[in-house]
A and B are shown apart, each in its own frame.
Chain A
Amino acid sequence: MKRAVYVLLFFLLAFGQGAYARQHDLSGKVTDESGKPLAGVSVSVQKSKKSVITDEEGKFHLKDIGDDAILIVSSVGFTSQEVRAEGSDMTIVLKSATSSLTDVVVTTALGIKRNTRALGYSQEEVKGTELARSNAPNVINALSGKMAGVNITSPNGVDGGSTRIIIGGNNTITGDNQPLIIVDGMPMDNTIPPAAQDVTQPKDWGSAINLINPQDIEDMQVLKGPAAAALYGGRGANGVILITTKKGSKRDGLGIDYNFGYKVTTPYRYIKMQNEYGAGGMVSLDPPQYPTDADGNKILTDGWTGLFVDPKTGTGPYGIDTWNQVSWPGTGTSWGPKMDGTPIKWWDGTTKADLPQPDNIKSFYKNGNQFSHNIAVSGGNDWGSIRASYTNLSNDAIIPNSDYKQNSFNIGTSIRLSKRVNLQVNASYYSNTYHNAPSLGNTENGFQSNLIYAYGRNYRGFEDNGDYRLDDGSQNKFSGFPWAGNGSAQYLYWNTYAKNELVTRRKLIGSAQLNYEATSFLNLMFRASVDANNNEDKAVNDPTDVTGTIGGSYANGITRDNANNYDWLATFHKENIKGSDISAKFSVGGTSYKRSMYGISGTNSSTYATPYLTYFGNYSGTPQAGQIPTESWFDKELNSLYSFVNLSYKNFLYLDVTARNDWSSTLPKQQWSYFFPSFAGSFVFSDAFHIDPSVLSFGKLRVAWAEGAVDVPPYSINTIYNTGTFAGVPTSSLPSALPAVNYKPQINKTADFGINLGFLKNRINVDFRYYHGRSIQQLLNSPLPITSGVSSIVVNTGVLENSGMEMIVKARVVESSAIKWDVSFNMSKNNNRLLSLTPGATRVDMNNIWGSSGTYISAVVGQQFGAILGYDYVYDNNHQKLLQDEAMIMKNFGVSAATAAAMKGTMYQATTSIVPIGNATPKFRGGISNTITFKGGLSVSALIDCKIGGDIWSGTYASTMQQGTAPQTLKERDGGGLPYTSPNGSTSNTGVILDGVYPDGKTNTTVVHYYYKYMQYGVWSSGPNNSQWIHSTGVLNDTWYKLRELSVNYIIPDRIVKKTKAFQAATLSLIGRDLFYLYSSLPNNINPEGSNGAGNAQGIEFASLPGARSFSVQVRLSF
């Protein structure tokens, strides 16, 4: 059997042919632009089933073809061509598809193959090889920076965690804005779990996309916007990602590929903190002193004295409790004495020199490792092809005791059952066990939160609290540990090692698709797909006592989540209708989608009857409420009918019209059915006007308009009553949030314009896109005053505007036989404004940190999606900050006139309600990649991506500034302030003047203690007497440029490989990922991509992990 590669073999429409046509045999040769023969090229005859593959010399032979037959010639990496079969021995030159924007065959909605020139909307593609080579944490992450307007957010960048992907902008405020993911025709639920969307304390086990194995992917198509995804209805309103898995190909050798990957992830970008001053609070205006014990010995701190009260006064500065002046700082407050080596009594009773601990910021972290082995067997013959693969992956994180393992099985096959019938079957099975996802954000189970909130700068890392378990097996209580935070920061290592949670996910996703070419003008497709999931979540917290019965807990839950999708499509097509230049394709199809999820879980945190054993029945005394299992459900059915027409004129003018009607079970009966159309046109004017290729080698205009409709989550339309019992008798009550009065689907209407230009024989390609859409009938939880009886009602109002522009430039800068240099640049700007809400409402809060006293991410009418709200300074008409005058201080702090006079100049005024203080929406996103390919198989590629503009509220910054741990807080303590006299009479250069004016207009000139410069960063609670702290101090512009990916790929030359006699091919890749930031506007190494949570609320950072980079090596061997 001759060596051949089956690529795109089954994609092509084979047209029937009239019996009256004259026939002849045809031989030919396919070469690249340099004249080199191309093997494995598919040559098909339009309107017939005839199709052959070129041999090693690029030759092919076809029998009995019509004189006017059109050949379709295609191969991976080349622009496919349609040529008339002229003569009996022809040479066809395929152009390299370096600039794949103009004229290649891609998979579009419903898996239909189309030439990009016919597309009236925007679509981008990434090949599976590129995905696999990027070594990104998951296949979505691999897109980061590579596509225009495709925004990837990977909070904290931990492997295995959720990735948020938004194409363009957001279409819904409270719903899911992520694109629909289709794997081989099966819509895959990729809901990011609520815990991973939390902005306060996210716990992120990742979503379904994390399971998808890049090694098994043939290609991934990103369909941007509703027009591209019109055929997917509402589910495609956010765009669609089409994943096609491999199906094998005909090839030489054993057909075995082995791929080995090793990756090391290194935390490197640790937060910067000061290393001069240790534990101590803002308690006294005199210079800080060590507290002393009864014997007069200097002691570290007891976690209260010195942090929250001045031991001498029992209160704070000016006789006001510190917490009433400075929110609630953490136990890590480090406004204390200089760590100058003074011997002090440590918390554990020993005497230690009080010395700086600069490395405590790194303690706890380690390098992460990932190993992967993939073995794939593939082959094919005239009847079809098959590929089967197995991948084993193990990963451990940069924090201790967190790891996951995955086994992936994939099989893909394409079989020609008869001349007219083709069957494709794909199935992937994944088994993933994830042990302890990292605890992120504001949690004492995680180190970073403790570092910036709970642990003082003198904290000695593992030496202080690493010995978490006593010899008898019980928990070390660390009696006297002063940095307990909110109560359990001393147990960091216990929480890390003695609390274990294991999430096991098993997923089967696959489809069987039958294509039947019924006649020369009618094709039928039937497909059945499944996405079956079986997940377990088991958590075991060790008992903390010596008996092994108290303080432990056991939780277990099982979820089965099955979805089935059945679809069919009938396509009638006719070329050159009645001898004209018009060709038409008409399709009608339908889909039936059904998803059924059921979960059950419980918790046993009782005292165990039998030590250490974890099962629900192991309790003594009264069982706890958690032992009664909690259930969850998700049932949905969505049926659809759709139809579409593709018209083309002379291969340069195209028009697509689609119509779809959905019936969704989640809507009220009168709204079950809803209809939406789309139009898309493409005009290749360079062909139409025969423009001189030396001026413009390709030019296309495209325009599209689409309407999409999104249904609502299951059960949400039901008015449900709360039930309970009182005095042993049932009670019921209305819910605190009401459903909408009349539910309607959310409607998205988007217009999409684009121009696509190719210059210099398409060596330079430019693609520009502008889109403008509005999403109306937003399903929103509209807050109501509780005087209405409820706190919110769902409304079907609200208009969200989503418009933007994207530009892609791809160029082959250097083209020679020795070197090829490709540059790809993309940028996007999105305008995502909330235009209106229900009358009387001005904003919708998406999430917040620290509850009502904290910072919110909201959609505010008139503003960009993602406004950051919090308390702000009050400004006068000249935009000067207003300070509190004596009367305000008296009222707010309940102090005498004399004290208020002394305090003058210490306190700013704060707004009485939360106001917009920033916006997380970036101004631009973009990326630039350079790939240089050298003769001999070596290529080097670098990708830089960037985010320009957009704010972040950094709790890390606010906390470290307020607690005296940020490097910036050293200035006055190190004598860089203004002369200030303490109450004890000592004068030093530690004073500040708060910049601002008083209500009477007078400028502040009073020098006050430096504390008052930093107290403003308060974040955690409301102030006394309804006054507020100021959150705008933590809002920072978050602009960054990052070297995202640097890879070296070496295809070992055939002449070397063949000598081994064992291998057919070998490739070696070295990849560096997330290498470093070229620029970040955030101070102190705060993680620019450390936004908490992967939900719609983006823009809150607190305790983000240090930046980490990875280096990996991949070896690919073909046998």
Chain B
Amino acid sequence: MIYYKRFAPLVLATMLVSVSCTKNFQDLNATHDKPSATTLAPLVNGVIGTLFLKWTEQASLHNDYYYTATQLGATTSLSGYVLANGVNEVWNDYYSTLQNVNLALDKVNAAGDQESMNNIRAVLYILRAYKTFRTTDQFGDIPYLNAGKAYNGSSENFRVAYDPQQTIYDSCLADLTWAVQHIKTAASPVTGAGNPYETLGTFDTFFGGDMLKWQKFANSLRLRYAMQMVEKDPTAATPVIADVMTGNAPVVGEGEDVAMWPKSLGGVDLGGRWWSFSSGGAGFVRMSSTMWNMVSDGSTNETVFDPRAWLFVTTNQAGKWAPYTIGVSTGDNINAYFSPTDPEDKNKCIYSPFSWYLVRDNWYIPEQIISTSEVHFLKAEAYARGLGVTANLATAATEYKAGIASSVTFWYNVAANTNDATENWSSVAPAPPTTAQMNRLYSNSKVAFKGDATDALHKIYAQEWLSFFRQPWLAFNLWRRTGATPVDPASNPSATYQHFYRLPYAQDEAVNNTDNFNTQVSKMGGNTSDIKVWWMK
């Protein structure tokens, strides 16, 4: 027994020493170089950062398909990237961003005085709606209402069903309407409970905290997307168009084009722009004959009547205007934009390339999101068709010309201010067009209204299409919605382009969301590009 007495304390003490220390466990297991918590404002800024176009998206979707399908441009050969590369990029970007918006909204919902979060909620609704519209427009039905919520750990959000595009449209338009109606644009608004409205402060890198700009942006988007669906669901769309047209809330006005301006966003390097046109192995885009027909009446400088021609496209290596006729012209499978310094070294290209500056500039030229000219064209369409307003061709013509003018002004401003380390467009850009030059444009028979609504509508679509020169995804929407954008009768696009109506879903869905994917594909009758999305004619 004496032994027990002697050693029991020793054993016990040792036991205690060896196992009592769990107290530092949490500190020990903390991640050193990544935060395990976040706040609302940086999440929102992260979402804003995703608004730039993606690299492969531009190469394998815009340059390989949208330009040729819409005839806004022509590709001499396909890029080294398959369609799936671009699809994956758009798909992954959208859903990884959606979850951040959802998480941010969770944080908004957790606030005590909900009204104090209205402006931030509105910003999130607008960002979510904008990205969602872009995605659903390209794919059709997509998982939306329950998508991007895996982070909450609930297994029912791991594999979610596809929502009909109409449902998504309704939901996003409702969000935009809420935003327009609830944004407080005053300097320091106060809630009913007396609390100040929360703001994003400097984290609103998109509009610098200017809630009026957010409101205009949201209201303009309402016009765009209500117009997009008006053929298929006029009951839902027309009141929205009417509301915007009535002016209950402002839309983007002159000089307020909504765009991602790399220079004012801390000097973002848009490397994907030039990459998508050349070094990525991407398609070598050229001026299409369709586009050329819309800016000139012949083949010489003198025949150019649209001043944007000088900015959008350029002559071939031989100094000639040489449009590429889709499905007819061949060859020129070379990179006409290869020279980093010399705009005139076009690698002996046969067909007219896009402007070297539009392609090579990484630092100044913006990526448009919704332009003032587009808003004018949408209004012109509403007046021409009597959508939400009384049909009025004269007012339509006014908005139409304002749209053209706005586009011309915008691009001449861009050219005049593009002056960065390697691309000094400002030094060579033509002077802004004179009134006479603009009048020559307005009066050209391809531009001027003849007097009937059908002609007006065609011309509105044509000019809107041209204004989308660097927004081929919007031209793609317009082409699919109206079926009335310009087409060169001499062109002979392949069946692929003629029926390129949507992007097939990402392969990841077939692998990891198999049941819902199969249900959706069987509902559509396939997952091919020739299936129309809901709002198409």
Closest chain-A Cβ to B10's Cβ sits at a distance in Å of 8
How far is it, in angstroms, between the C-alpha of A894 and the C-alpha of B510 when the chains are bound?
A: 24
Decide yes or no whether B48 CB sits under 8 A from chain A: yes
Q: Would A1022 and B22 count as touching, CB distance under 8 A?
A: no
Decide yes or no whether A568 CB sits under 8 A from chain B: yes
How far is it, in angstroms, between the C-alpha of A727 and the C-alpha of B42 when the chains are bound?
A: 12
Decide yes or no whether A1025 CB sits under 8 A from chain B: yes
Closest chain-B Cβ to A1019's Cβ sits at a distance in Å of 17
Residue in chain B with minimal CB distance to A790 = B150
Residue of B99, B103, B205 ringed by the most chain A CB atoms within 10 A: B99
Known: A637-B21, A665-B25, A793-B158. A731 touches B42 (CB 8 A): yes
Q: Cβ of B48: which chain A residues have Cβ within 8 Å of it?
A: 726-727
Decide yes or no whether B100 CB sits under 8 A from chain A: yes
Q: Would A518 and B3 count as touching, CB distance under 8 A?
A: yes
Q: Which of B10, B30, B494 contacts A718 (CB 8 A)?
A: B30
Q: Which of B43, B268, B508 contacts A732 (CB 8 A)?
A: B43
Q: Would A522 and B3 count as touching, CB distance under 8 A?
A: yes
Q: Would B18 and A591 count as touching, CB distance under 8 A?
A: yes
Q: Cβ of A296: which chain B residues have Cβ within 8 Å of it?
A: none
Q: Cβ of A112: which chain B residues have Cβ within 8 Å of it?
A: none
How far is it, in angstroms, between the C-alpha of A665 and the C-alpha of B26 when the chains are bound?
A: 7
Q: Would B45 and A730 count as touching, CB distance under 8 A?
A: yes
Residue in chain B with minimal CB distance to A636 = B28
User: Among residues 546 to 568 in chain A, which have CB atoms less than 8 Å away from a CB atom of chain B?
Assistant: 566-568
Q: Would B25 and A784 count as touching, CB distance under 8 A?
A: no
Interface string of A439-464 (1 = CB under 8 A from B): 00000000000000000000000000
Q: Would A729 and B205 count as touching, CB distance under 8 A?
A: yes
Q: Cβ of B436: which chain A residues have Cβ within 8 Å of it?
A: none
Residue in chain A with minimal CB distance to B88 = A786
Interface string of B442-485 (1 = CB under 8 A from A): 00000000000000000000000000000000000000000000
Decide yes or no whether A336 CB sits under 8 A from chain B: no
Interface string of A580-594 (1 = CB under 8 A from B): 000000001011100
Q: Would A787 and B151 count as touching, CB distance under 8 A?
A: no
Q: Would B100 and A734 count as touching, CB distance under 8 A?
A: yes
Decide yes or no whether B140 CB sits under 8 A from chain A: no
Q: Would A731 and B33 count as touching, CB distance under 8 A?
A: no
Q: Cβ of B394: which chain A residues have Cβ within 8 Å of it?
A: none
Known: A522-B7, A726-B266, A730-B42. A719 touches B26 (CB 8 A): no
Q: Cβ of A720: which chain B residues have Cβ within 8 Å of it?
A: 31, 34-36
Known: A566-B18, A726-B46, A788-B157. A718 touches B511 (CB 8 A): no
Q: Would B7 and A786 count as touching, CB distance under 8 A?
A: no
Q: Cβ of A839: which chain B residues have Cβ within 8 Å of it?
A: 155
Closest chain-A Cβ to B203's Cβ sits at a distance in Å of 6
Q: Would A641 and B18 count as touching, CB distance under 8 A?
A: yes
Known: A590-B15, A726-B265, A1024-B82. A633 touches B513 (CB 8 A): no
Decide yes or no whether B326 CB sits under 8 A from chain A: no
Closest chain-A Cβ to B48's Cβ sits at a distance in Å of 6
Known: A637-B25, A731-B45, A786-B91. A588 touches B205 (CB 8 A): no
Q: Cβ of B511: which chain A residues have Cβ within 8 Å of it?
A: 783, 785, 913
Q: Which of A633, A669, A787 contacts B148 (CB 8 A)?
A: A787
How far is it, in angstroms, between the C-alpha of A1025 and the C-alpha of B65 when the chains are bound?
A: 13
Known: A631-B33, A790-B96. A913 touches B42 (CB 8 A): no
How far is it, in angstroms, between the C-alpha of A1075 and the C-alpha of B269 when the chains are bound?
A: 58
How far is it, in angstroms, between the C-alpha of A137 and the C-alpha of B146 when the chains are bound?
A: 55
Q: Cβ of A364: which chain B residues have Cβ within 8 Å of it?
A: none
User: Among residues 20 to 71 in chain B, which have CB atoms less than 8 Å away from a CB atom of chain A?
Assistant: 21-22, 24-26, 28-39, 42-43, 45-46, 48-49
Q: Cβ of A894: which chain B residues have Cβ within 8 Å of it?
A: 494, 496
How far is it, in angstroms, between the C-alpha of A738 and the C-alpha of B34 when the chains are bound?
A: 14
Known: A720-B34, A729-B203, A741-B153. A789 touches B147 (CB 8 A): yes
Decide yes or no whether B509 CB sits under 8 A from chain A: yes
Closest chain-B Cβ to A780's Cβ sits at a distance in Å of 13
Q: Which of A637, A731, A791 contacts B28 (CB 8 A)?
A: A637
User: Among residues 594 to 652 in chain A, which have CB atoms less than 8 Å away from a CB atom of chain B?
Assistant: 631, 633, 635-637, 639-641
Decide yes or no whether B14 CB sits under 8 A from chain A: yes
Q: Cβ of A669: which chain B residues have Cβ within 8 Å of it?
A: 25-26
Q: Which of B19, B82, B507, B510 contacts A663 (CB 8 A)?
A: B19
How far is it, in angstroms, between the C-alpha of A793 and the C-alpha of B203 when the chains are bound?
A: 29
Residue in chain B with minimal CB distance to A594 = B28
Closest chain-A Cβ to B80's Cβ sits at a distance in Å of 9
Counting contact residues on chain A (CB < 8 A from B), the size range is 35 or more
Q: Which of A526, A568, A637, A788 contacts B95 (CB 8 A)?
A: A788
Decide yes or no whether B512 CB sits under 8 A from chain A: yes
Decide yes or no whether B190 CB sits under 8 A from chain A: no
User: Among residues 329 to 376 in chain B, which have CB atoms less than 8 Å away from a CB atom of chain A?
Assistant: none
Q: Cβ of B142: which chain A residues have Cβ within 8 Å of it?
A: 787
Closest chain-A Cβ to B1's Cβ sits at a distance in Å of 11
Q: Cβ of A637: which chain B residues have Cβ within 8 Å of it?
A: 21, 24-25, 28
Residue in chain B with minimal CB distance to A788 = B150
Q: Would A789 and B99 count as touching, CB distance under 8 A?
A: yes
User: Among residues 735 to 757 in chain A, which have CB atoms less than 8 Å away from a CB atom of chain B?
Assistant: 736, 738, 741
How far is it, in angstroms, between the C-alpha of A734 and the C-alpha of B34 when the chains are bound?
A: 11
Decide yes or no whether B159 CB sits under 8 A from chain A: yes
How far is it, in angstroms, between the C-alpha of A727 and the C-alpha of B269 when the chains are bound?
A: 11
Q: Would B19 and A789 count as touching, CB distance under 8 A?
A: no
Closest chain-A Cβ to B240's Cβ sits at a distance in Å of 27
Decide yes or no whether A519 CB sits under 8 A from chain B: yes
Interface string of A834-874 (1 = CB under 8 A from B): 00001111000000000000000000000000000000000
Decide yes or no whether B286 CB sits under 8 A from chain A: no
Residue in chain A with minimal CB distance to B32 = A633
Decide yes or no whether B506 CB sits under 8 A from chain A: yes
Q: Cβ of B39: which chain A residues have Cβ within 8 Å of it?
A: 732
Q: Cβ of B28: which chain A residues have Cβ within 8 Å of it?
A: 635-637, 665, 714
Q: Would A783 and B96 count as touching, CB distance under 8 A?
A: no
Decide yes or no whether A418 CB sits under 8 A from chain B: no
Q: Would B149 and A789 count as touching, CB distance under 8 A?
A: yes
Decide yes or no whether A1026 CB sits under 8 A from chain B: yes
Q: Would B508 and A733 count as touching, CB distance under 8 A?
A: no
Q: Would B18 and A568 count as touching, CB distance under 8 A?
A: yes
Q: Cβ of A640: which chain B residues have Cβ within 8 Å of it?
A: 18-19
Decide yes or no whether B397 CB sits under 8 A from chain A: no
How far is it, in angstroms, between the C-alpha of A518 and the C-alpha of B21 when the chains are bound?
A: 28
Closest chain-A Cβ to B267's Cβ sits at a distance in Å of 9
Closest chain-A Cβ to B333's Cβ sits at a distance in Å of 9
Known: A718-B36, A734-B151, A788-B157. A666 touches B29 (CB 8 A): yes
Q: Cβ of A729: which chain B residues have Cβ within 8 Å of it?
A: 42, 45, 202-203, 205, 266
Decide yes or no whether A717 CB sits under 8 A from chain B: yes
Q: Would B22 and A723 count as touching, CB distance under 8 A?
A: no
Q: Cβ of B11: which chain A residues have Cβ within 8 Å of it?
A: 524, 570, 588
Q: Would A715 and B31 count as touching, CB distance under 8 A?
A: yes
How far is it, in angstroms, between the C-alpha of A396 and the C-alpha of B340 when the chains are bound?
A: 48
Known: A590-B18, A663-B22, A732-B38. A786 touches B510 (CB 8 A): no
Q: Which of B37, B153, B512 contacts A785 (CB 8 A)?
A: B512
How far is it, in angstroms, between the C-alpha of A734 and the C-alpha of B143 when the chains are bound?
A: 19
Q: Would A784 and B512 count as touching, CB distance under 8 A?
A: yes
Give chain B's interface residues, CB within 8 Å of chain A.
3, 6-7, 10-11, 14-15, 17-19, 21-22, 24-26, 28-39, 42-43, 45-46, 48-49, 82-84, 91-92, 95-96, 98-100, 102-103, 142-143, 147-151, 153, 155, 157-160, 202-203, 205, 264-266, 268, 494, 496, 506-515
Question: What would be 7 A-B contacts, judged by CB atoms less than 8 Å apart?
Answer: A633-B32, A635-B28, A641-B18, A723-B42, A726-B265, A790-B96, A840-B512
Give chain A's interface residues, CB within 8 Å of chain B.
518-519, 521-522, 524, 526, 566-568, 570, 588, 590-592, 631, 633, 635-637, 639-641, 663, 665-666, 669, 672, 714-715, 717-734, 736, 738, 741, 783-791, 793, 838-841, 894, 913, 1022, 1024-1026
- In the complex, given contacts A731-B46, A787-B142, what are 7 additional A-B residue pairs having Cβ atoms less than 8 angstroms apart? A641-B18, A718-B30, A727-B49, A731-B42, A787-B148, A789-B95, A913-B510
